[in-house]
Structure 1
Amino acid sequence: MASEALLNRESATALYMQIADLLRTDIDSGVFATDSKLPAENELTHRFGVSRVTVRQAIAQLLAEGYVVSKQGKGTFVSRQKLLHDLKPMRGFYDALIAQGVEPKTKLLEFTPASASEAVRQAFGATDADCFQLKRLYLVDDEPIALVVSTLPPEASGLTWEQVNRNPIYVLLENVLNMPVTKAEVRIRARSAGASVGHLLGLSAKAPLLVMERESFGNDGVLRERTSFYIRPENYEFSLSVQGPLPVGSSIKNVNGSSPRADKK
C-alpha cells in the first residue's frame, strides 16, 4: 500500500500529485476495490506526513479524473469501472451498455406531444403536426447515470406509453413504426448540469456533464429522431476507431464562434 516513504520531497512534482499517483496505483491494482471507501483524511495525512490541504488537493485530483466519488456525510469512494461507448457501430445508448455486460434500469419520465420549431418539423418531413418528446432516466445499480431527452416525429402518436417504456428508441423506430435508421450524426460537448437535469441525476447545478447530441436519419435523408444524452462523466467515456490519420484540429468546433487553431504537430 502507498506510504510516506514513497514520496520524493525533492522532486519537482508537487506532493499532492505524488499522493494522487500512489492512490491511483492502489486503485488500479485492486488495493482499494470498486465502491470501497478510501481512508479518512486524517489517516492519509498521518500516512504521508503531509498537511490536510495537501491530502485534499490529492483527493480533488482523483475526483476530477473520475477515479473516486464523494458522498456527502459518508466519505470518498472508489468509482465503478468506466462504461465505454464505442461510437463506430451505430447502436443505441441501451445497446451500448448491454454490450459491456451492464443491464441498466430505465424509468420513463415523460412521453407527450411537444411543439417544435419549423426547422425541426421540416427535417421530420412534417408540417403542422405535433412532434413528441420522450424523457427517460437510465440507472445502473440503482444510481442514475444519464438522462435522455428525445424528439420524435408525428408518427410517434401511434405509440403507447407501454411500448415506449419497454423499448429503446431505435427499436421503436425500426420495429414498431417501420422507420429504419441508416445514418446518425453525433456531437459531444461538456456543460454544467443545471438545476433540473442535476436534480434528476443527483448532481449539483454546477456539476459537469457529458452531453451527446444525436440526430438519426433514414435512407431518404429524413430525420428520424433527435436526442440529447446528459451523462454523468465520472463513469462513462467514448471511444472511436478510424482508419488513417485522425485530423483532430478540423474535427473540433468552437461553440463560442471562433475557429480553433489546428494542432500542427
Structure 2
Amino acid sequence: MQANSAKNASPRKRATVRSDPARANRDDDSKTPAATRPAAEGAPLLNRESAVALYMQIADRLRSDIDAGVFAADSKLPAENELTRRFDVSRVTVRQAIAQLLAEGYVVSKQGKGTFVSRQKFLHDLKPMRGFYDALVAQGVEPKTKLLEFKPASAPENVRQAFGSPGDDCFQLKRLYLVDEEPIALVISTLPPEASGLTWEQANRNPIYVLLENLLGLSVTRAEMRIRARSAGTSVGQLLGLPPRAALLVLERESFAGDGALRERTTFYIRPENYEFSLSVQGPLPVGSSIKNVSATAGNGREGKSSAN
C-alpha cells in the first residue's frame, strides 16, 4: 500500500554566470584558451577564464532560465545544435550540461522527442499503508493505467510455499501507470494462485490491494518495502520511454496476512525525475558511544578513541 503524498515542486537554486568574451566553435572546449571574439548574437556569454567548467556554466544558465519560467514545466529545451550555436561550444559540452540537469532532475529525456523540463515531483510517504494508485490519487493526480499482462506464471518454489500453494501456478500482473499520457512507472506483481478467479477486466480496473482484499477476500495487514536504484535496461526502458542506461527508482514490496502468509510480491520501476520517497521516524536516537581514531591508530599503533556526540 502506498503512502499519503503531497505534490510539491523541488526547490531550485538560481545560479549566476559572469559574462565574458566567447570563442569560435572547436571540437574540444577544454583545450581552447580564453578568446576575445564575441559569441553569437543574443547568446549568453560564458566565462572561459573561470575555474568552473563550461558545461557547468551552461547547466547553471539553463537551470536559472527554468527557475525564472523562461522554460515552463513540460516544455522542450532547445535542440543540441541550437544550444551549441547559442553558447559557442562543442556538442560534447552541451551533452555534458544536459546530463548534469538530467542527474539533478531538472529535465527529462523522452526517447525520440528530446529533452523536456521536469514536472513537479510526487512525494510518496512510506509510513502509512497505501497502494501506488491511491498514493497518486491522494495528491490530486488521476493516473491512467494500462494492463499489459495478466496470466498464470511460474514462480520459485519458496514463493509458492510462501503463498501456501506449493503445487499451483501463481499469476503475474504487469501494469503501466501514466500521468498526462506519459509513463511514470511499470509495475510487475506476482499474485497467489487464488488470482485465477479474477477476470482480465477486474485486473484491468482495480489496484492490487483491491484485487486481494475486496475481490479475493485475502486480507493484508503489513508490508515490507525496499528501495534501490538500477538502470532501466532494454525491456523496461522501452515501456517507460527511457534509454537502457537511464536510472530508475525501484521499489520492491511484499505484503503479508496476519499469520505471515505472503499475499503479493511487487516490483515498481519508477522514473526518478518526478518521484520522491519520504519517511518520518521518531526517536530516541541510539548513538554510538565512541569512534575509532584512525590517525591515532596509524601514528602510534594504539587504538585511539574519541567521544562521539
Q: TM-score, normalising length from structure 1?
A: 0.83
The sequence identity of aligned pairs, in percent, is 83
Match of 1:241 in 2: 280
Give the drift of 1:3. 6.6
Q: TM-score, normalising length from structure 2?
A: 0.72
Distance 1:26 1:174, change over 3 A: same
User: Per-residue CA shift, 1:127-168, capped at 9, x if unaligned?
Assistant: 312211111111111121111110111111211111111100
Aligned to 2:159, what secondary structure does the other structure show?
Answer: helix
User: Per-residue CA shift, 1:171-219, capped at 9, x if unaligned?
Assistant: 1111111212111111111222222222222223332222111000111
Counterpart-to-counterpart distance in 1, 2:98 and 2:91: 10
Aligned to 1:34, what secondary structure does the other structure show?
Answer: coil
Match of 2:77 in 1: 38
Match of 1:190 in 2: 229
Rg: which structure is higher?
2
Aligned to 2:160, what secondary structure does the other structure show?
Answer: helix
Match of 1:167 in 2: 206
User: Per-residue CA shift, 1:10-45, capped at 9, x if unaligned?
Assistant: 654333223323322332342321111224446545
Distance 1:80 1:195, change over 3 A: same
Match of 1:69 in 2: 108
CA RMSD, 1 decimal? 2.7
Which amino acid in 1 is paired with 2:215?
A: V
Aligned residues: 249
Match of 2:134 in 1: 95
Distance 1:65 1:157, change over 3 A: same
Q: Of 169, 179, 190, which aligns to 2:218?
A: 179
Show structure 2 runs of 5+ residues with no match: 1-13, 20-44, 287-307
Give the drift of 1:170. 0.7
Aligned to 2:173, what secondary structure does the other structure show?
Answer: strand
Counterpart-to-counterpart distance in 1, 2:198 and 2:112: 44
Match of 2:264 in 1: 225
Show structure 1 runs of 5+ residues with no match: 248-263
Counterpart-to-counterpart distance in 2, 1:7 and 1:133: 54
Q: 1:11-50 maps to which residues of 2 (within 5 A)?
A: 11-41=50-80, 44=83, 48=87
